[in-house]
Amino acid sequence: MTTTLSLEAEVAKLIVEALHLETAPEEIDPAAPLFGEGLGLDSIDALEIALAVSKRYGFQLRSDDERNHRIFASLRALAAHIEKNRTG
Amino acid sequence: MLPLTSRGPEEVIFHRGPVPVTVRQFLAEVAALAARLPDEGPVLNFCADRYLALLSFAAALSRGHVTLLSADRTPLRLADIARLHGARYALSDTEVALPLPVLAPGAGAGAAAPNPAIPAAMVAAIAFTSGSTGEPRPHAKPWGALVAGARAAAERFAVTPGTSIVGTVPAQHMYGFETTLLLPLQGAGAGHAGAVFYPSDVAEALAAVPAPRLLVTTPLQLRALLGSGIALPAVSAIISATAPLADSLAAQAEAAFGAPVLEIYGATEAGSVASRRTLDGDAWSPYPGVAFAIGDNRAEVTVPGLPAPVPLSDVLEPAGGDRFRLVGRQGDMVKLAGKRASLAGLGKILSDVEGVREALFLAPEDLDHNPRARLAAFVVAPGMSAASVVAALRGRVEPAFLPRPVVMLDELPRDEVGKVRHKALAGLAWRRS
């Protein structure tokens, strides 16, 4: 559980830095949607996050779907996906 | 009258899964879908699967229904367009709760079906741009204009019947609609149906279709592809549009992928109207049949099939013969992620937020060359934070136009005559870079 929590914080920081957001990492609600009405990210950001994730955690995000919706559903979902797939 | 498709019955029009779809099968599926559509359009088409998007468009067209194209799939935007343009039903492969019937365009083939003839003057589709206050503005596309555009593109890019076309742009964005749906329908080549967005998607999609392969993408995605260092199967050409491509990016892409990088110039109002190979220089060549009229501060383009010349939001200058150069943007129009807005319009929306006393949007100098560039906002709003300003803008402007950074000020810097000093503001926003 502690691992997940700290990875969440780490990914929040990664997102804020990669995207130059006005939000502080700790202000991102881990359960709120990252796109649209939540944090308000868009497709430019999705590509930036994918790039930052591949560099930091050593795997590529894919959009076969469905699953992609779930991965970007929230900070928590993204962190969980990274936890499962990271090679670095 | 122009036929629904110019392709021969045995030609492959799309790759969807392992079995290629021939024109014969496509026409049978079009007829089967057309038979179960409601009596009246317009129809809102927001299929994610490119083949289903084409099938839906073709079936609606054969029934005389106008297709409303929205690249933005947020329920709010879709409902807006449906309401403002009287959509009677929607065709989609994704579930969205809308106040109208949403049908799934199942690809079940019926008996062999004819190639229907469509009146050239019929409005086949309506594409949308954002107005200055965010409301969708319609741009009608007669069938004849769409056909002429697709044939011109096939000729310009020498697309062969067997070329596989992999696109990363939504099928309902005008550029994506023309290059990934209409090109196979009325020009040449076979589309790729699946979702392609991230660098690894591009590699997988290209690997899944036969050579020669044409990649249709944007500067932003080209940059991500190069940044990811991913290896791609051989491509015969890369086409980029939605924003000017920097020479350095084009050079890197040509070196990395061993193919020419070509660009399309166009606008939702006019469609694709010119092209260039980025590394050959900054002059654009009009598509066959397209004519530009370039004035001092105003340019318009005459497009085959469109009833009147279309004013452009870019400033152009002649470059010898019928070629032209892009000099800059008209007035305060900016373009991000393939969407346009006026800085003054955005500033007005922000100024109308409760608690905001004064506000202004500025674009960074590298806006036209940096795919990641964002707008900055300067806000006088005692008691509000930058985050609360962004929160208030959400839902009022497209996410691409949400400002970064937001600079909170006690007052806007002004010169002796009271004009806001833009240079000073730019210094505040972008001193870091």
Domains, chain A, in order of start with CATH, read 2-85 (1.10.1200.10)
What does the pLDDT read at residue B314? 87
**Chain A contact for B431 (CB, 8 A cutoff):** no
A2: pLDDT strictly greater than 60 = no
Supply the ipTM of this predicted assembly.
0.80
Residues of A in contact with B194 (CB under 8 A): 64
**Chain A contact for B297 (CB, 8 A cutoff):** no
Residues of B in contact with A21 (CB under 8 A): 404
Among all residues of chain B, which has the CA nearest to that of A27?
B387
C-beta separation of A76 from A9 below 8 A: no
Whether A22 sits inside 8 A of B371 (CB atoms) is no
Of B317, B365, B368, B316, give the one whose Cα is nearest residue B340: B368
What is the average pLDDT across B146-156? 97
The residue with greater pLDDT, A4 or A10, is: A10
B54: pLDDT strictly greater than 50 = yes
**Chain A contact for B397 (CB, 8 A cutoff):** no
Whether A43 sits inside 8 A of B371 (CB atoms) is no
B85: pLDDT strictly greater than 50 = yes
Residues of B in contact with A64 (CB under 8 A): 194-195, 201
Closest Cα of chain B to A6: distance in Å? 24
Closest Cα of chain B to A28: distance in Å? 11
Domains, chain B, in order of start with CATH, read 2-329 (3.40.50.12780), 336-430 (3.30.300.30)
- Classify each residue of B253-285 as buried b or exposed e, where b means 16 or more C-beta atoms within 10 Å of its C-beta: bbeebebbbbbbbbbbbbbbbbbbebeeeebbb
**Which range among A42-56, A57-71, B32-46 shows the weakest confidence by mean pLDDT?**
A57-71
Closest Cα of chain A to B170: distance in Å? 11
C-beta separation of B398 from B375 below 8 A: no
**Which range among B8-12, B29-33, B111-115 shows the weakest confidence by mean pLDDT?**
B111-115
A1: pLDDT strictly greater than 90 = no
**Which range among B57-66, B123-132, B183-192, B260-269 shows the weakest confidence by mean pLDDT?**
B123-132
Closest Cα of chain B to A50: distance in Å? 7
Q: Between B224, B398, B404, which is nearest A51 by CB? A: B224
Count Cβ–Cβ pairs < 8 Å, chain A vs chain B. Answer: 78
The residue with greater pLDDT, B348 or B28, is: B28
The amino acid present at B3, given as its one-letter code, is P
Whether A61 sits inside 8 A of B194 (CB atoms) is no
How many residues comprise chain B?
Answer: 433
Whether B337 sits inside 8 A of A43 (CB atoms) is yes
The amino acid present at A79, given as its one-letter code, is A
Residues of A in contact with B429 (CB under 8 A): none
- Please provide the average confidence, as pLDDT, over all residues in chain B: 92
Closest Cα of chain A to B405: distance in Å? 7
What does the pLDDT read at residue B418? 78
Of B303, B300, B363, B301, give the one whose Cα is nearest residue B336: B363
Among all residues of chain B, which has the CA nearest to that of A59?
B200
Of B291, B317, B313, give the one whose Cα is nearest residue B303: B291
pLDDT tens sequence across B204-240: 999 999 999 999 999 989 999 999 999 999 999 999 9
Distance CA B377, CA B389 (A): 9
What does the pLDDT read at residue B309? 97
**Confidence category of residue B272, pLDDT binned at 50, 70, 90:** very high
What does the pLDDT read at residue B433? 44
What is the average pLDDT across B361-372? 86
Q: Between A24, A42, A62, which is nearest B337 by CB? A: A42
**Confidence category of residue B419, pLDDT binned at 50, 70, 90:** confident
